[in-house]
């Protein structure tokens, strides 16, 4: 219950978007737009919010579609609609009279324009369910038919989109099917608390069980479904009638369960590089004792250089410089660039001049190899301990 409540709370805290949104757009084509917000939990169940925006050129009284899967728990369907007011846009003078020396004209309105009244309203949609070709068919009665665009919002759950393979959940989500062309489509995937999706773990703390059969509940999220981007979003366009779009991926209860193979390969690769470097250094120092100090200096230079880069990144991302922000940032970057040149080339040039070109070149190679190995290790550490945790974005 926590996660869905928090999600609704976040949406309610947003500015009054419904009152700021412009009039329902005329798509300029015969078709629809579809938007989905899909949340998966640790039980392998998907909770789906779907928003269909269909150009209503025929004043539809009925609408049919299919939801992929047979075991579908369709919790609610509502229609978002607008009431319209008329305003005169053109007047015609029909008569003129004179009263006490003053001309008085009579005008009649010849043309009106209609505009929607905000915020929108919501009506409960009656529907019947059936089964067809492994899908759940839904036949709806449209309560508000005199709308330029039909806005239908569905909320349903199913466990048919997820299969568990060891510690990893593999999902395959498929969009709704109907007889209309689809202009644009977007699917945003999110996870319940403490789950990880392709390196992204959800920062929303809720359980998708808070929506009841009342239209007022769906109204809280209806206007925002088409604006939510969870960070794992895929889009499609120009779909034919009865054509669907699928989004697949993997998630797990831990970051390690998803990425242990990559981490293992990275560790093995780093160990091989370190081992090869140690062997190369030992062989070189055995043949020439003069190489010991230059190689150690090259290694130390790589460590200091990596620390310099990390420090620069931290300063640029966390320090506030007030009115002189741009100047200070430029100064930090110039100092970092200068130190990078000195630390990368300085040891090699110094030992090249004092000990010979061969030793200077070996010092430079040591610095570059050590920097490469340390960089790989640093990236692995940051991915493992500091994986990102974005919440939903609205745009």
pLDDT digits (tens, 9 = 90+) for 204-255: 333 333 444 455 466 667 667 777 777 688 888 888 999 999 998 888 888 7
Banded model confidence at residue 284, pLDDT cuts 50, 70, 90: low
Q: Summarize the confidence of residues 284-294 as an average pLDDT.
A: 69
Q: Is the pLDDT of residue 52 over 70?
A: yes
For residues 66-83, give the mean pLDDT.
Answer: 91
Confidence of residue 347 (pLDDT cuts 50, 70, 90): confident
Q: Band the pLDDT of 260: cuts 50, 70, 90.
A: confident
- Among the listed ranges 46-50, 187-191, 257-261, 339-343, which one has the minimum average pLDDT value? 257-261
Quick one: three-class SS letters along the chain?
CHHHHHHHHHHHHCCCHHHHCCCCCCCCCCCEEEEEEEEECCCCCEEEEEEEEEECCCCCCEEEEEEECCCCEEEEEEEEEEEEEEEEEEEEEEEEEEECCEEEEEEEEEEEEEEEEEEEEEEECEEEEEEECCEEEEEEECCCCCCCEEEEEEEEEECCCEEEECCEEEEEEECCECCCCEEEEEEEEEECCCCEECCEECCCCCCCCCCCCCHHHHHHHHCCHHHEECCCEEEEEEECCCCCCEEEEEEECCHHHHHHHHHHHHHHHHHHHHHHHHHHHHHHHHHCHHHHHHHHHHHHHHHHHHHHHHHHHHHHHHCCCHHHHHHHHHHHHHHHHHHHHHHHHHHHHHHHHHHCHHHHHHHHHHHHHHHHHHHHHHHHHHHHHCCCCCCCEEC
Going from the N-terminus, what domains does the chain have, and what CATH number goes with each? 2-81+126-253 (2.60.40), 257-394 (no CATH)
The pLDDT of residue 171 is 92
Write down the pTM of the prediction: 0.62
Can you tell me the mean pLDDT for 83-111? 80
Please say if the pLDDT value at position 27 is more than 50: no
Lowest mean pLDDT among 64-78, 273-287, 292-306, 346-360: 273-287
């Amino acid at each position: 219950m926590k996660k869905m409540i928090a999600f609704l709370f976040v949406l309610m805290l947003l500015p009054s978007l419904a009152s700021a949104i412009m009039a329902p757009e005329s798509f300029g084509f015969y078709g629809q737009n579809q938007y989905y917000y899909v949340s998966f939990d640790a039980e392998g169940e998907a909770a789906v919010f779907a928003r269909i925006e269909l150009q209503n050129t025929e004043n539809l009284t009925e609408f049919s579609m299919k939801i992929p899967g047979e075991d579908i728990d369709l919790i609610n369907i509502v229609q978002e609609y607008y009431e319209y007011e008329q305003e005169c846009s053109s007047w015609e003078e029909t008569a003129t009279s004179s009263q006490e020396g003053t001309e008085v004209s009579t005008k009649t309105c010849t043309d009106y324009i209609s505009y929607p009244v905000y915020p929108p309203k919501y009506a409960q949609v009656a529907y019947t369910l059936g089964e067809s070709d492994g899908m759940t068919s839904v036949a709806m009665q449209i309560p508000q038919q005199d709308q330029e665009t039909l806005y239908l919002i569905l909320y349903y759950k199913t466990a048919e989109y997820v299969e568990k393979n060891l510690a990893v959940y593999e999902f395959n989500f498929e969009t709704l099917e109907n007889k209309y062309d689809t202009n644009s489509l977007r699917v945003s995937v999110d996870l319940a608390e403490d789950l990880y999706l392709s390196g992204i773990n959800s920062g929303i703390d809720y359980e998708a069980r808070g929506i009841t059969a009342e239209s007022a509940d769906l109204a809280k999220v209806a206007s925002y479904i088409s604006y939510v981007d969870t960070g794992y979003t895929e889009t499609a366009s120009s779909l034919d009638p009865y054509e669907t779009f699928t989004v697949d991926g993997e998630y797990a209860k831990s970051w390690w369960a998803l990425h242990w193979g990559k981490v293992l390969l990275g560790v093995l690769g780093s160990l091989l590089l370190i081992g090869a470097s140690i062997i190369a250094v030992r062989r070189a120092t055995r043949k020439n004792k003069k190489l010991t100090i230059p190689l150690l200096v090259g290694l130390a230079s790589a460590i200091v250089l990596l620390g310099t880069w990390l420090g620069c990144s931290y300063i640029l991302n966390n320090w506030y410089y007030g009115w002189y922000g741009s100047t200070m940032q430029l100064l930090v970057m110039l100092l970092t660039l200068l130190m990078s040149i000195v630390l990368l080339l300085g040891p090699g040039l110094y030992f090249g001049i004092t000990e010979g070109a061969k030793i200077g070149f070996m010092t430079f190679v040591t610095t570059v190899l050590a920097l490469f190995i340390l960089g790989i290790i640093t990236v692995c550490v940051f991915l493992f301990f500091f994986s990102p945790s974005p919440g939903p974005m609205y745009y």
